Chain A
Amino acid sequence: MAQRGAVLGRTALVAVAALALAACGGGGGAAGGGGDVTSIRVLDYYNNEPDRSVYARTLDACGQQAGVTIEREVVPGASLIARVLQQASSRTLPDVMMIDNPDLQQIAASGALAPISDFGLSVDGYADGVATASTYEGQVYGMQPVTNTIGLFYNEDVLAQAGITPPTTWDELRTAAAPLTQGQRYGIAFAANATYEGTWQFLPFMWTNGGEETDIASPQVAEALQLWTDLVQSGSASRSVVNWTQADVKDQFAAGNAAMMVNGPWQFPPLDKVEGLRYNVVRIPVPQSGDTQVAPLGGETWTIPQTGDAARQAKAAEIVACLNSDENQLALATERSTVPTKTALREQFVAQVPKMAAFTEQVQTARSRTQMLGEKWPEAATRIYTAIQTALTGGASPQQALQQAQNG
């Protein structure tokens, strides 16, 4: 009976205050100090299968190796940051903490994380973008075992029937999407909703065309947005894209309502369960053939918070290092349909999991979202999805929409 709350009830802001209130209580607990470390507290948001049990197994194995038991807390993705902030202010941060990579700089900036160099760890040999995402002001604060990005999924049967090969350039994408649109089916689906997901899906188009988040009113960004706008206004993509999450896009593709879609490899498990669906993945089309693809890097990074207990932190570092061992990078990547972050592992990985070839290739030149703007990224991401929505709903031309968003 939500409606029965008191007058000032559940405005979001009161919730913030409640967080602060919770912060005032608690305290202590974590910092035991000295003594033998027998258990390590871990916080992450892998609450869906197969991720949940894959990480449970890997963490337990790493704990065994380090001689500690793992006390794992799994929270839903949306509440991770709230939990981290609450624990930060009550000084009850876990020993090992997973953070979505674009959030790392926010948390590192607060001083709550220990640089991994304190424990003799480094990210040498990692893909550049991945290392950058875990770096704040020259110090590395996290190690990311696997990464992911988005590619272009296509329905093999539908494309074969229409005699169309998967598009590699924007022009090919336009000309392929039109005839693939028939009856109930749209040529392509993507997510352009009013969240960072919408921004994330747009980034490969914007970055590959030379657009930068530091100046979104540039012609390069406008051209990319023009492509999306054309796809929607010509009817090759549904107008509903402005309200679709990536999961909705996957559902449309799985139901045969879209011949192609922009999405990530985490959709493999649900797609593989769809009977009669044959699909494959290629790189996201580039503006001109020969252009270098620049895709955004996804995935989570593992950090060691400043708990004030050197012995526990050292054990925590062992766990983080173990999660990032060659063996575990490959195992996690294979089981979770992600890409190992150590460049040396790539060839071996693609040989093992050919389906991940397109994604692995994209990751080599991919970029982290916080590389240029750091803590300011959320603000820019909001502007970008607002401009996308304005242009796609016909509120303004792509150029004007981007200019408005930049000024706003």
Chain B
Amino acid sequence: MRVQKVYILILTLVLLLGFTSIPKLQTEESAAVLLTRQDIYTAGNSVTLSFKTEAQSAKLIVSNALGTSIFEAEKTTASGKLQFLITEPYCKSSGVLNYTLIEEGQTLLSGKIQLKADTAKISKLESYLGPQRIAAGGEDFAQFTILPTDQYDNPLPDGTEILLNTGYANSNSQEVLKVNEFISWKNVHATTRSGRIFVAANRDTTTSKLQTIYVDANLATDFNIDFDRPNSLADADQLTTLKTSSIKDRFNNVVPDATLVNFVIVTNTGAILQTSGNTINGIAEAQIQHPAEPQSWTVTAYITGIAKSKPITISYDKAVENIPANWDASNRRLNVGPLNGMLNQTLPEGTVVTLKISNTNTKIETHTKKTEAGHVVFDLKKAFYPSGIYSLEISVLGVSRTLNSVNLK
């Protein structure tokens, strides 16, 4: 019984205290009351805010994302009531619109309304695509981003459905995308065949721009090369054409035109020559001049860092059979020629002839001259070459002939 008394006492105390604490009342009577009940509007419709207030010269300050403006009240219909018509551009921009009713620098009331995009009139499906060129195979992709807006350029609310159409060769596919946080997007993956993928979005009668994705071949795989030449002579005159097989990726797509192919030639003397060409329909060609002496070449083609060919070997034969030469001892003159090729034709003008002069004192000198009508003349002046026994070695296009024990008087 005692215990109960204590409980009752405590309970009464608590109750007493509970009722004595005064709830925080609005001490100041708000100077204005919003009469308009609607707080969500559709962009483009007229927005009117009415207030019950005694302040007849009050103004309404309105702000949205892009700026702030002041609106004056419309003609008052009744005393104690003010009406504001929110005009363009505020009434057609979606988003939150903050307003503050003021009079003489004092805030009477502030609040916010919301404007929604006009989903009934989607007027634009802005689309962005990137990157535009992708590699075949399925791993690479292009991203298609859509920013749909209504007729006032307001972004559409979440969940708005957009139809995405994708076309490749003769097949088309459709997919429904939902707008999320103003946009919707889709990664369009590459096909295994190269070609073009077309994407476009639409909703009802509004369509986006048609976007094209170019699917190019993926990385080239190793290939073969071959050569073609008018003859096999080392005449420093004709051209050998080097040619690749059709270069393809691992999905059998021909590599894009203008893929650069470098042909690297290693000669049997160890020199390295290089020529290059760009592919057309997967085939690259390059040309190179025949060597000036019989040689054997090993050719390998490279697409740098990506692919290479199997090496091939090309041999060049000598282009001259014999070298007629006549030593005129009285004039100290060496007549070389007529120099004729394998078909007995005169060698082209300017073919280089080398003369190597050596004597017993191992003095060696080299002279080069170019042919004129198949002939070259070397004059060995006494001032340079004192009397004695010399050996003369004549070389043309890698072929040489030696005149031993020539006595210069």
Specify whether A and B are partners: no
**Interface positions of A (Cβ within 8 A of B):** none
